[in-house]
Structure 1
Amino acid sequence: MDIIQLLPDSIANQIAAGEVIQRPASAVKELLENAVDAGATEIKLIVQDAGKALIQVIDNGKGMSETDARLSFERHATSKIQKIDDLFHIKTMGFRGEALASIAAVAQVELKTRRAEDELGTYIEIENSIVIKQEPCAAPFGTSISMKNLFFNVPARRNFLKSNAAELRHIIEEFIRVAMAFPHLFFSLTSNGQEVFHLEAGSLKQRVVQALGNHLNAQLVALKDETDYINISGFIGKPEVSRKTRGDQYIFVNNRFIKSSYLNHAIVGAFIELIPKENFPLYVLFLEIDPAQVDINVHPTKQEIKFEDEKIIYAFVKAAVKHALAQASIAPSLDFSLNADIQQLDAINKPFNKEEQESAATSNLFKTFTQRNQAHFIESDNKAELQHWQDFYTPSKENSSSKKIDAFLQNEKHEDDFAFAQYDFLSSEKAKQEKKIIEGAPLLQVLQTYILAPAENGFVLIHQQLAHERILYERFEQTVHRHSAISQQLLMPSALQLSVADKTLLEELLPDLKLIGYIIEKSADNIFSVTAVPADLLNGNETKAIELLLEQYKHFNSEVKFSKREKIVRCLARQHAVKAGRILTEKEMRQLVEDLFQCQTSNLSPSGSSPTFIEFKENYLDGLFGI
């Protein structure tokens, strides 16, 4: 018997939908991009239950005829591609011809559309890729498309969706990406009847501030570089607004949002020595390049693209960011006019005669800078010289003086972070017996990071930050499981200035934060305020503590194996731990050592990837000297 058979269209459509529509945010992206391509000036997004119950996009674009409205739900139906060469000249957003067909395969869809020249519009109702109803209807010009009960016919896929708060964050992320690319259009987002975004048409800077927060208004540096190969424009954040996560990083190529670790490396390279190593800069950059130089049809979501010449794009982006930083007096720039010795160089003193002019004009270097479309040209003969071009971007190792400066700054910055307390995990005598720490022996701090504690058969070298993280981690963990947190009321509530995405995340974490001792209230106008903090933490700058906690939580978010509560406990332990580079007193060191060996798991950091201390025994030390 033959065993190979063609799949039914309904199953094939559902399989294709799995590539394009992975979650409600995927559908939001496709529908918003279609509205932009339709020439709309006003686009409204309405969601219920984070898109699981309803996703509706209403636009005032050109609308569709009755035939186009029906064909738009067929697979491989598109108005943007007629021949294969068109794939390499795409200037619009959606073009794959599978978005609406995929949505119709996994949701109940209603479409109302009308062109301005038509008296009546078209109403279409589709369920499970089958047209249930199609009829004329009264409608304003433009298009309104609703998709209800996402994955209603694929319950296994629906079970894999995250909580409403998590899915809403993804929707907000996709909404911001599209809205950022088109600041001249009006966008709004309404969730469960409450307007989350109301973005009036305006300049790019206004759109960035509206979407990412008013606190960025004075923290943005404009960037604009134009060449015959690529135009780069947008904004970069000053070093002080760098974050622990990559959240506020946007690269658009021909107005299409992309993800590129390669270009991100170029931008981060321009910020070397301006921000801490673990921080990421904020940027919103737009790259305009000939569509023929870019292949955008390499991924179903079209967020990963290929450049014809990645190396030159890398160099242009890095140079543009460095130039913008220098223009804003953030990074040092060279001014040769300040050095009088330059005037004595032969190149300035000697005349530039006719023969030398002709020789220079015929050189490849001169052509590279004067002829159009040659700025990126590299001769094949010189390729061998560029094999190790990446080495140019490798940062040099920090010298000891810079480390000392960083240590001093950290000491100043975290002056109020250090708070030790007595804990009741194991008896102190048992801990000392296990590790044989000599009681009362003097302790030594090494490199403002390590504590050297004498033991009976050698010594123990303790990493002060990792050790304190372990101490705080076990304390917070016990507090959460015992529901025994004691909160201290603040005299004046501290208002939080958060972006919409961070507000959504914070609302999801409120119950777990309350278990630890943070009480945060939400007002009627969607403003969050800290009213109480854990009693055993030092007061002061509560808003900064919550903002940092949210950043670290997003950093931990890739660790799917951890629960939400576990991530919060880890974040708090890392945030409040004494940092490497902090000078400790003898009393603080002794307290830290005693508390560490009272922990249930004293030898590992909370992540389990690093030790908190290393033992050096006598026989090992003797071996180092060949004894």
Structure 2
Amino acid sequence: MADIIQLLPDHVANQIAAGEVVQRPASVVKELLENAIDANASVIKLIIKDAGKTLVQVIDNGKGMSTTDARLSFERHATSKIRTADDLFHLNTKGFRGEALASIAAIAHVELKTKQENDEVGNSIVIEGSTIVSQEVVVTPKGTSISVKNLFFNIPARRNFLKSNTVELRHVFDEFHRVALAHPSISFAMYNNGSEAFNLPISNYRQRIVNIFGNKTNEKLVPVEEDTEVLKISGFVGKPEYAKKTRGEQYFFVNDRFIKSPYLNHAISSAFEGLLKSGNHPSYFLNLTVNPETIDINIHPTKTEIKFDDEHTLYALLRSAVKHSLGQFNIAPVLDFERDANLDTPYHFNNKETSTPVIEVDRSFNPFKESYASGKQTTSVKKQTSNNWDSLYVGLESKGTKTENDFSEVHFESEETTISAFADVNKIEQTKTTYQLHNKYIVSTIKSGMLVIDQHRAHQRILYEDFLKNLTIKEGVSQQLLFPLELHFSSQEIQIISQLQEDLEHTGFVFSNVSDETIEITGVPVSVPESEVSIILEQLISDVENEVPDTHFSATDLLAKSMAKSLAIKKGQSLLKDEQEHLVNKLFACKEPNVSPTNRTTFIIMSVDELDKKFI
């Protein structure tokens, strides 16, 4: 039988490797930024066009590369970071496997310009699909500039799997934030389609967070500091009142490398136990410093997941440190066993002026007199002796009788309604047309059997069609707020709201001002309570960023779905009888009552025959 196993050509092997390393433009951004940091750059610029699909360029002022190194950097498994297998457990750099540039060059047009500090001229290399097109000497400043153009040009199937520019740009922003937050000692700048998106000067960690997420973030932060032999923790957590429905602002850095760890995330959540509303998530920006020998970074292609030797100890230390900080800064109540509670000032004496105590003496008081009068006292006190003890019980019998009579005249504020045996049966049945089961489902009787409605999904369908109608005819009814509502968002979130502003106004929102970090709202739709406005906008921003449901849906449809999801009554909410009947009537007045806006079943019908079979 002929041999069938053969070695793959290099360009095919590189494309397969690129499938693991380069998933989208954000993956290229991550690898190039980390290379610039490893080159000891102090200033890094990122230039993006069309969310990275057309161009991703990173310019740094690092140490640059020689002619040989520049050529060798595009070979697979060529790296300056490690020499032996033991070096994998003493890593202090970002990249180390030597796959990034080779993978990127296999699926894009790459142009590299680099120059070392002591060289007079630099080198330029142009590669298209792993093929070197040109290599020549050029005049270029110190450092490295690498441009990645037309990503996935030779793999159209992968390019078709990319999402819209809004979603891909969000992933690029996420990667930029992760790298910039981990290195506040480096100056970063980002340009998107020719306009400046970020300009982050060298600063401390708190200033870097504020520069990225807006000035309002400063008052939300609670510092966390802990230094032990096993783990050093530094950074910030957000105050509970600023927790969001989404998990956007959650960052773990281990030895200046961003990681994802559901286990350590649970430690933070448990530290906030009892301080957050259900469904809200705390924000945190925490740097963990551990011995490189106690972690394994080489378990994931993108290096965002690492393995710890002793996760349980890290969990306990992290939870305790966060809990201590929340208590130390009076965010959470703490128990102080050394404090004497008797020395605390009562609440009703707070801010009350002290007064000199006055002692009043009744000088006419004589304890040996049977009766006395003093000042305004009018009540006479009779001395009881052992001789007339039986007089104390005189009249008890009559009092007891009176008490019984008094109880017979007691009236209750609300009496329980009883149904007469001769009441109209039809009227009784009409008052019990719907029932609420476990505060989740509405049960109603129909001619063929029983109807069970999911109240949350049903209300979503009702609100969705109402919002969609208002958006289509552009006649949303608005209620004016007594005081303008000012909300704070990051610059990227403000851009999304600006794009949807016209559609939001058609639903009933009235915007009086939209600036770089704040929006001011003076009117909201009639069905929207003021307290829900920030939740609705946060959910809407999250849906747009994650492209829920998908690109082929219009912004109008997306907006209606998002607002319906935010405002629909939740499972566990008790409804009055009239509210239940109104929900049932409104549902079956919808065009598509069978499914929710997300195509989930809203109700089921159990026929009498199905019920009969249950009792066989």
- TM more than 0.5: yes
* C-alpha contact 1:461 1:614 (8 A) present in aligned 2: yes
CA distance in 2, matches of 1:157, 1:522: 41
Shift of 1:241: 1.5
Q: Distance in 1 between the 2:160 and 2:181 partners?
A: 32
Q: Which amino acid aligns with 1:121?
A: G
Alignment RMSD (CA, Å): 3.8
Does the C-alpha gap of structure 1 residues 47 and 80 become closer, same or farther in structure 2, counting only changes over 3 Å? same
- Provide closer, same or farther for how the CA distance between residues 523 and 603 of structure 1 changes in structure 2, counting only shifts above 3 A: closer
Match of 1:484 among 454, 464, 473: 473
1:311 aligns with 2:312: yes
Task: Specify the alignment match of 1:547 in structure 2.
Answer: 537
8 Å contact kept, 1:59–1:144 = yes
What letter matches 1:548 in structure 2?
E
CA distance in structure 2 between the aligned counterparts of 1:13 and 1:197, rounded to whole angstroms:
33
Write the distance in 2 (CA, Å) between the matches of 1:105 and 1:555.
Answer: 29
CA–CA distance in structure 2, aligned partners of residues 290 and 64 of structure 1:
30
After TM superposition, the structure 1 = structure 2 runs for residues 59-138 of structure 1, keeping only pairs within 5 Å, are: 59-138=60-139
| Residues in 2 aligned to 1:23 and 1:616: alpha-carbon distance in whole angstroms | 51
Judged with a 3 Å threshold, the aligned counterparts in structure 2 of structure 1 residues 617 and 81 are, in CA distance, closer, same or farther, namely same
User: What TM-score, normalized to structure 1?
Assistant: 0.74
- Residue in structure 1 matched with residue 583 of structure 2 by the alignment: 592
Q: How does 1:248-267 map to 2 (within 5 A)?
A: 248-267=249-268
State the alpha-carbon separation in 2 of the partners of residues 26 and 181 from structure 1.
17
Query: Structure 1 residues 124 and 531, CA, compared in 2 at 3 Å: closer, same or farther?
Result: farther
**Paired residue for 2:565, among 564, 568, 574?**
574
SS across alignment from 1:122: strand
Q: 1:50 to 1:606 in 2, by over 3 A?
A: closer
Give the AA of the match of 1:7.
L
Equivalent position SS for 1:221: strand
Larger Rg: 2
* Whole-Å separation in 1 of the counterparts to 2:507 and 2:479: 16
1:559: Cα distance to partner? 6.5
Q: CA deviation at 1:526?
A: 9.1
Q: Are the structure 2 counterparts of residues 588 and 70 from structure 1 closer, same or farther at C-alpha, using a change threshold of 3 Å?
A: same
With over 3 angstroms needed to count, the CA separation of the structure-2 counterparts of 1:339 and 1:619, relative to structure 1, is farther
**Residue pair 2:41, 2:60 contacting (<8 A) in 1 also:** yes
Instruction: Indicate the larger mover: 544-553 or 91-100.
Output: 544-553
Q: What is the deviation of 1:30?
A: 0.3
Per-residue CA distance 1:538-597 (angstroms, 9 max, x = gap): 585796255233255269757779956555433211222245676766654543343234
Question: For the structure 1 residues 537 and 334, does the alpha-carbon distance in structure 2 shift closer, same or farther, using more than 3 Å as the test?
Answer: closer
Structure 1 pair 311–545 and aligned structure 2 pair: CA distance change class (3 A): closer
> Following TM superposition, by how much is the alpha carbon of 1:605 offset from its aligned partner in structure 2, in angstroms?
5.1
Compared with structure 1, are the counterparts of its residues 606 and 244 closer, same or farther at alpha carbon in structure 2 (3 Å cutoff)?
A: same
Bigger Cα displacement from structure 2, 151-160 vs 250-259: 151-160
Counterpart contact for 1:468–1:578, Cα < 8 Å: yes
Alignment of 1:391-402 (within 5 A): none
CA deviation digits over 1:41-74, x for unaligned, max 9? 1100001111111111011111111111111111
Residues 192-236 of structure 1, C-alpha deviations (whole Å, 9 max, x = no match):
101011111111111111212222110110001110011011100
Instruction: Determine the structure 1 residue equivalent to 2:371.
Output: none
Q: What whole-Å deviation, never above 9, does each CA across 1:179-200 have from its counterpart, x for those lacking one?
A: 0000111111101101011111
Secondary structure of the equivalent of 2:224?
strand
Q: How does 1:184-583 map to 2 (within 5 A)?
A: 184-338=185-339, 439=430, 465-477=456-468, 483-488=472-477, 497-506=488-497, 537-538=527-528, 540=530, 544=534, 546-550=536-540, 553=543, 563=553, 567-579=558-570
Structure 2: gaps (5+ residues)? 343-426
Q: Map 1:582-621; keep pairs closer than 5 Å.
A: 588-599=579-590, 602=593, 606-607=597-598
The 1:524/1:335 distance shift into structure 2, 3 A limit, reads: closer
Distance change (3 Å), C-alpha of 1:531 and 1:169? farther
- Percent identity between matched residues is 49
> Cα gap change, 1:305/1:156 in structure 2, threshold over 3 Å: closer, same or farther?
same
- Cα offsets for 1:77-131 (capped at 9, x unmatched): 1111001000011011111101111111111111111111111111111111122
Separation in 2, partners of 1:555, 1:44: 24
Question: Would you say the 8 A contact 2:245–2:280 is kept in 1?
Answer: yes
CA displacement, residues 347-398 of structure 1 (integer Å, 9 cap, x when unaligned): xxxxxxxxxxxxxxxxxxxxxxxxxxxxxxxxxxxxxxxxxxxxxxxxxxxx
Indicate how the Cα distance of structure 1 residues 447 and 329 shifts in structure 2: closer, same or farther if over 3 A, else same. farther
Deviation at 1:527, TM superposition (A): 7.6
Runs of 5+ in structure 1 lacking a partner? 342-435
- What secondary structure is seen at the aligned counterpart in 1 of 2:147? strand
510-519 vs 97-106, greater mean Cα deviation: 510-519
Q: 1:71 to 1:459 in 2, by over 3 A?
A: closer
Instruction: Classify the secondary structure of the residue corresponding to 1:287.
Output: strand
The yes-or-no answer on 1:18 pairing with 2:22 is no
Q: Quickly say closer, same or farther: Cα 1:438–1:563, change in 2 above 3 A.
A: farther
